[in-house]
Amino acid sequence: GESVGLHLPTLSVQEGDNSIINCAYSNSASDYFIWYKQESGKGPQFIIDIRSNMDKRQGQRVTVLLNKTVKHLSLQIAATQPGDSAVYFCAEDDNAGNMLTFGGGTRLMVKP
Amino acid sequence: KAGVTQTPRYLIKTRGQQVTLSCSPISGHRSVSWYQQTPGQGLQFLFEYFSETQRNKGNFPGRFSGRQFSNSRSEMNVSTLELGDSALYLCASSLAGGSSYNEQFFGPGTRLTVL
């Protein structure tokens, strides 16, 4: 598949463990923050989003935490599975109209 | 319902040539955004079209252009290709335009290789 990033930071976890992927953002005016998952050969797939007036949002096996004070976003994946292996990107939307600013990405590797 | 489709999936061109990539959004979606993804620069916004009008443009040279048709399908064109244009070009569609957030759905991308 396509090479998403040759020198991405990598997080390696054991199957069944929890994963935490971090992201720093830069624009204080951003209103929405989104996490995407990209598997080899595919486009980014939406995981979860959070609005700037929230600090936590939960989905199925995933939780996003937002700390606006330090401009930090994290994605927590519970009971990580081999199918979670992918590159994860955070993105921010500043209400300028469907133009996302992406972080550099983190490669998650799940060991069976 | 069918997702975002992009054609072709793979393309090889030589320096100086031009290329046109196509994107068909999800049925009913009227906004199409284009992104370039490279190992060095990551995912970068190129431009966004809504109702056949370019509403936003990223920081790319004028060699990169696009358009949107009345059925919301979009094309992007790169003229006078350079080696550095080798990338995965991603298209994303969303339901509406405007300044408020809309979830974007990405296609599989077109892998362009410039030799």
On the question of pLDDT at A95 being above 80, the answer is no
Q: Which residues of B touch A105 (CB under 8 A)?
A: 42-43
Name which of B33, B28, B43, B30 is nearest B6 in CA terms.
Answer: B33
Q: Which of B33, B38, B55, B104 is best to mutate for the A interface (most A CBs within 10 A)?
A: B104
Q: Which residues pair with A35 in a beta bridge?
A: A48, A90
pLDDT of residue A4: 44
On the question of pLDDT at A1 being above 50, the answer is no
Of B88, B94, B107, which has the smallest distance from its Cβ to A98's Cβ? B94
Mean pLDDT value across residues B91-96: 91
Q: Which residues of A touch B44 (CB under 8 A)?
A: 102
**With an 8 Å Cβ cutoff, is B50 touching chain A?**
yes
